[in-house]
Structure 1
Amino acid sequence: MALQTGYQFETFEAITDNYLELEHCIKSIIEKEKYVSYNVKTKVFTPDGGGSYLGILCKVDIEGETTTDKKETNIFMKIITPGAQMTILSLPDVYKNEMFVYKELSLIYSKLQNEVEIPMQEKYKFVKSYEESNANVIILENMSKKDFKTNFRKDVITLQYAEMAIAEMAKFHALSFILETKQPKYFERKIKTIKATFSFDEDWDGFVQNMCQITLNYLDEDSRRKLEDFIPSFTKKYRKYSEGSSGKLCLRHGDFRPNNILVKEINGVVSEMIPIDYQLVCYGCPALDVIFFIFSSTDQKFRRSHMLYLKELYYESLKRFLKYFSLDVSSIYPKTEFERDLKSMMDYGLMTAILMMPLLMASDNDVDITREPLAGLSLNVDDLLKDRLVGIVQDFIEWGYFIAQVQAADKISDRGS
């Protein structure tokens, strides 16, 4: 019995002025999938792992029949936020970047891996994307229908999860190095031109001050003074790192954390991973992805037990994947250079934690950073936030990171007295 043909696009019309464009995308997919009868259901949702800060998320389920059998197509759509007022980040640019990764770069990376016959379980994988994706909407296969999910944004990851995630990250960076070697002209034209999309304006400065104050409120007097001495260099350093002006460079993910990694589990153990969300990809130092991942998804106890191991694992994973292409990691990214990048830019972990952790630990899932000035953003933060932020600040104090800054501040104070 054929399903009734029809649309339920009220949800699209309610959330965006571009609903006619979304209708057209769905109709195009229906035609390509050769449905002769169908029913379309749409639903806006917030993922279990936490909210989406740069778009509206929507599930679209198409059920119907072709000329030969019954069929179901399950789609995930990320729709650019209508009327966004955001200034520190260009939403059109981040959607353009993600569209490029899914519609063009994923095909190139898949071809490179197929040419050297990498085993399926070792390949770096992308979620299936639809050609209808454009500058306003990213359209992908809904992988939740295949039992994939993302971790809850507040959870500390397990070691097994970290091992698999670090290996996937290394593959992504390796493919950038491989592309640069195999297709240098294309790399020069299409990859090196992908810059970080942050705008370091007055709203950014206010956002930094706002987020720093949250951390300062949790600290004892001595720790507070040490962090206060660091804050004046915050924007300058963050901008330097974001713009890729130091260290080894490749295409990096930019937002590699559990919210942006799909996982499938068997009896509670992760069996497969697929990284997603390429909106913040940029040409920059791969060590920054390592640092960001560790500080955004672990607590102090985890770092003390496993941080050194994970750094070694990243480099060994990079080495192993490059071997498939007969490339020597020591000539691509010497270990001494990798270790130097990690050490010299480790405070990126402190800065990103201060900026991102309050958002990740917010009590409500519907934080909207696109509609109000970030300098005045108000958050209902979770009780877990204090432990995570205090632990990170303590790490940097124990590593001696603030010593030189505190000594300089003391000299200024002595001269003043």
Structure 2
Amino acid sequence: MTSVDTEQILRQLLDKIAKELNYEEANVSVKAITTGGANYSSALYEVKISEPNKEERDLFAKVAIVGEVARSQFHLPLFDIERFAYNELLQSYAKIQDKNQLSDENRLVWPKFYGCNPNPYEETIVLENLATKGYVTYDRLKSIDWAYASKAVESLAKFHALSIAYGEENPTEYAKLLEKMKFNPNRVEHMNDAYVKLANMALAATREENKEKLKKYIEKEGDLMKMAKFYQPKGLTLLKHGDYRPSNLMHKTKEDGTLHVIPVDFQTISAGSPIIDLLYFIFTGSDEDFRRQHYEQLTGHYYQELSRALRNLNVNPEKIYPKEDYNKDLKEFLPFGLVLGLFTLPIITVEAENAPSLQGDDGINSMVVSKTSNLYPERLNGIVNDYIRWGIL
């Protein structure tokens, strides 16, 4: 699909949105933007809707560019999930926050939703443009620091707490939703070729003294179905984000010097353990030095913030997720970080000009980038060092 096609699809939706906002002679400007290799599923645009004597609207839009092959392989209705999130789920979360009279500091914030196009191969979401309010994304090629990481997991804890509170208020409906959004094992059947290539790529980049240890682990634990166990509901199960990494968050510095972090991508919400989101954030966004200094501090901070967010929603954290259960889950799920590194680091650290595309006939295999960046072996070997230090490799 060409950029001309996606812009045309977008403009049809924008005309409808302008009318709904009572712009009679709207001037609609559309500008294509790039995330420098951080986004693969959508064409992105900045939009301005204006008219004399009326408020100018700054919007952000994404139009699906995932091809037929990748769609058939993912077994995950990415755009349907995000549409559900904005149209239904987040509205329910907002009511829960209002009911509990949360202060601005204690509320989870997400972009304002303006409209969508649900038609297959034309899926479009239009949101407020947070960039015009000073929000930016973190540089994916730099390791997160404590100031950013601590605020990002606070927002994650609020997101998880709202899922739990929603379940407490609507137990029957929530149980059905978790069942509907649980992990689909069919998602891994098309990934085997890609996984073998990624595993070989990791072994080639691993330092010689550690290569045999990683090879033995992959041979013993490298079966895709064994890896899929991390996504199966176990322990505390809630609606997790599914792709909680710096590229899917926006932040800005407040007047007091602290950061405010907003999640902006809800395509991969699914049922699972909150630990998956936490480890996903840590291992997609940090280097070895950060984890040596802050891993235990950050995982402890997450539980503290989850407990606080639950109490703000009148939910007892000790009843829902006792600290001992959390620590047990954290230890049990820890190998997920190693698996995640093998799968995602080539893509997360890729230079923009070598970023993959999901539009063509290669589908998921296109995610095996042909040229990795110089950052890839550094990040990979950092993870290998962690797991040797932790006694897993």
Q: Do both share a fold (TM > 0.5)?
A: yes
Q: Deviations over 1:41-76 (max 9, x none)?
A: 21222125x4311121122221213xxx23311221
Sequence identity of aligned pairs in percent?
28
Which residue number in structure 1 is paired with residue 4 of structure 2?
A: 14
Contact 2:254-2:260 at 8 Å conserved across structures: no
The match for 2:387 is 396
Write the distance in 1 (CA, Å) between the matches of 2:283 and 2:188: 25
Which residue is 1:383 aligned to?
Answer: 374
Match of 1:319?
A: 307
> CA separation in 2, counterparts of 1:145 and 1:79?
20
| Counterpart Cα distance in 1 of 2:86 and 2:65 | 20
Which one of the candidate residues 96, 100, 110 is aligned to 1:116?
Answer: 100
Count the aligned residue pairs: 384
Shift of 1:266: 4.9
Structure 2 residue runs of 5 or longer lacking an equivalent are none
Q: Distance in 1 between matches of 2:143 and 2:380?
A: 13
Matched, 1:255 2:243: yes
Q: 1:302 to 1:108 in 2, by over 3 A?
A: same
Q: Deviations over 1:85-134 (max 9, x none)?
A: 2144146x011111111111111101101111110121011110123353
The 2-side partners of 1:12 and 1:36 are apart by 30
Tell me, in whole angstroms, the C-alpha distance in 1 between the residues paired with 2:66 and 2:300: 43
Runs of 4+ residues deviating >6 angstroms: none
Residue 241 (structure 1) aligns with? 230
User: Could you state the TM-score of these two structures normalised by the residue count of structure 1?
Assistant: 0.86
1:11-90 to 2 correspondence within 5 Å?
A: 14-16=4-6, 19-20=8-9, 22-47=10-35, 50-65=37-52, 69-81=53-65, 83-86=67-70, 87-90=72-75
Aligned partner of residue 153 in structure 1, secondary structure = coil
In the other structure, the counterpart of 2:195 is 208
Would the alpha carbon gap of residues 134 and 175 (structure 1) be closer, same or farther in structure 2, given more than 3 Å must change? Answer: same
The 2-side partners of 1:82 and 1:163 are apart by: 33
Greater mean deviation of Cα atoms: 261-270 or 128-137: 261-270
2:188–2:225 Cα contact (<8 Å) kept: no
Q: What value does the CA root-mean-square deviation take over the aligned residues?
A: 2.2
Q: Name which structure has the greater RCO, CA cutoff 8 Å, separation 6+.
A: 2
- Offset of residue 382 of structure 1: 1.4
Corresponding residue SS for 2:55 = strand
Secondary structure of the structure 1 residue equivalent to 2:191 = helix
Moved more, 53-62 or 316-325: 53-62
Find the residue that maps to 2:29 and give its secondary structure: strand
CA distance in structure 2 between the partners assigned to 1:64 and 1:12 by the alignment: 29
- Bigger CA drift: 367-376 or 117-126? 367-376
Q: TM-score, normalised by structure 2?
A: 0.91
Distance 1:132 1:391, change over 3 A: closer
Give the equivalent residue in structure 1 for 2:338: 350
Who is 1:186 aligned against?
A: 173
For the pair shown, which has the larger CA radius of gyration, 1 or 2?
1
| 1:281 is the counterpart of 2:272 | no
1:398 maps to amino acid: R
Separation in 2, partners of 1:197, 1:139: 28
2:160 maps to 1:173: yes
Gaps of 5+ in 1: 1-10, 403-417
Residue 357 to residue 269, structure 1, CA distance change in 2 (3 Å): farther
- Contact 2:202–2:342 (CA<8 Å) still a contact in 1? yes
Task: Kindly provide the CA deviation profile for residues 360-411 of structure 1, in whole angstroms up to 9, marking residues without a partner as x.
Answer: 1111254214422444633322111111100101111111112xxxxxxxxx
Q: Report SS of the residue matched to 1:132.
A: strand
Aligned mate of 1:103, from 76, 87, 99: 87
